[in-house]
Structure 1
Amino acid sequence: MTGQALNQTFSYHLQIASLDIPTPVTYIVFIIGLLLYLFSVFCNLTIMLLIITQQLLHKPMFYILFSLPLNDLIGISSILPRVLADIVTQTHTVYYPTCVFQAFLCHMYGGGVLFILAAMSIDRYLAICKPLQYPSIMTPFTLCVIISVAWGLDLALILILFALQARSTRCKTYIENVFCNNPSLLRLSCGEDLTVNNIYGLALTANMQIISVGIQLFSYIKIIIICVSNRQSDTSSKAAKTCVAQIVTFILFEFIGTFEILSYRFENIPPNAKKLCGIMIFIVLPVVNPIIHGMKTKDIQTAWFMVMRKKKVAFK
């Protein structure tokens, strides 16, 4: 059968796997998921609005931090509304272009976490290890370059991934996961050679990890050395505390990602558990990150309380 004939039989309305949830608890799961989503959207939007509107947060550190809640909103919005809709409607169908768009956003989110955390660690390294040169180094131009490289590199690498995926001929119509990603889209192919796709996918994951982990390790090791050598400097130790939130976020991301990969390596793990592990990477960080950064970042706390005080005064 020719590629043209295969394309003619391909249906753009795909069937997608579902979570096996007992009927009595369907709406309970939906409500919990909806509350988590609304909480994440509210908290991440609040941090973004605080950074935009509050003069106290108009600093390089927070301009870079702005990218994190934005990326979290992309991650959780690309997955959770779609899954919740399937839980309630029990339709379990997805239009192919929508599926590709969801997969693209999922991979953008994953790469975004790594590159944004790397950018944040560079800022903390310069602020703590080179405090006198920091204002002259971290100019608006440098700041734009760092943010643009983080987002631009992520976008370029993911675009290549999906350009390679678009070459394949599709004849299957079943997505084996509860959400769309590059591996599930490749499984729609008609048994053709996907060696290039697999090699690029593995190289992409490895290089993203190497770049992000390498930059963060360099930055935080240098910060630790400075803090240890300047034992009497309260400034260095206080500045180093701003790194805690980034480190916690990175550890959580790596832990959840590793747990998801391992879940697919053991056959005795129930399919439902594997699906939940896949979803968690898009839910946990977008829900937890605003709490971590709100609690561990004093300036964000101060900006929040200033806004609340102004609202109380306005209502009196």
Structure 2
Amino acid sequence: MSSAETGSTGTVGPVGPVGPVGPTGGVHPAPARTPSPWWSLGLLRSELVTTFRRWRTLALLGVLAAVPVLVGVAVKIETGDGSSAGGAGGEGPAFIAQITNNGLFLVFTALAATLPFFLPMAIGVIAGDAIAGEANAGTLRYLLVAPAGRARLLLVKYATTAVFCLVATLVVAASALAVGALLFPLGDVTTISGTRIGLAEGLGRALLIALVVAASLLGVAALGLFVSTMTNSGIAAMATTVGLLITVQILDQLPQLDALQPYFFSHYWLSFADLLRDPVHWDDLLRNLGLQVVYAAVFGSAAWARFTSRDVTA
């Protein structure tokens, strides 16, 4: 055995990847591989395919698609005798009274009905399972063996959850539009301000509302991802995220906390209705989007700090 292979005591040191021989005769370690952007896109594509092929994900999307169907059928049955939707007092989700005159309002009603609970609950399930589910299944360690890096893997998980936010919102909107067109007439839209806009512009505003609703869920996605880095149990992470969501929703209704409520991530969720004003009122919409950016930054940073310092054993 040559002297280059032994230490001063003649024992054999650890063997690993080697690089070129240095000027002093020592062997330099091979440089670490840096994953290319194309590799990162492949990781994102793989994560998206895995997420959207799960039966749990498909079941969540199926439930979300069923909500507009139930609302539309209920309104159709209720108004079959000529009575107004929502009862004599007009109770019910926002815009429900206008559905019988224009099926496009079923899109706005469905989004208003699903945004407080159904949509964020679905996001909480996906986000809460992002890291904890991998740890529970014993696959997290193998994901980190690949040249991904923890920060890159965390970013891919959040991007996947953000895509689910968009897909889930569009599923609700598309289902509502199809049911609304099937059961009710479509035509010009009367805005909250009392003016009328054409059907094409109404469809454009419906799409914009769906995008705003999807963006409104990014704070919940970051919160769920942070919770997911705190445990190895996917069920515990999902339950904790949903529990926090319900708690914030309850606190947002207490008048004693009115000074704190503008800082809750859910406080401005229904501000998307301002897109149906003429002209559009942007103040609360911008507050909502800014608040989601703050929550995404704060809880995203907390998730990064936790995940990059975590001892992964599973």
TM range (shorter): under 0.3
The structure that has the greater radius of gyration is: 2
**TM-score computed with the length of structure 1 as normaliser:** 0.27
**TM-score computed with the length of structure 2 as normaliser:** 0.27
Structure with larger RCO (C-alpha < 8 A, sep 6+): 1
Bigger proportion of residues as helix:
1
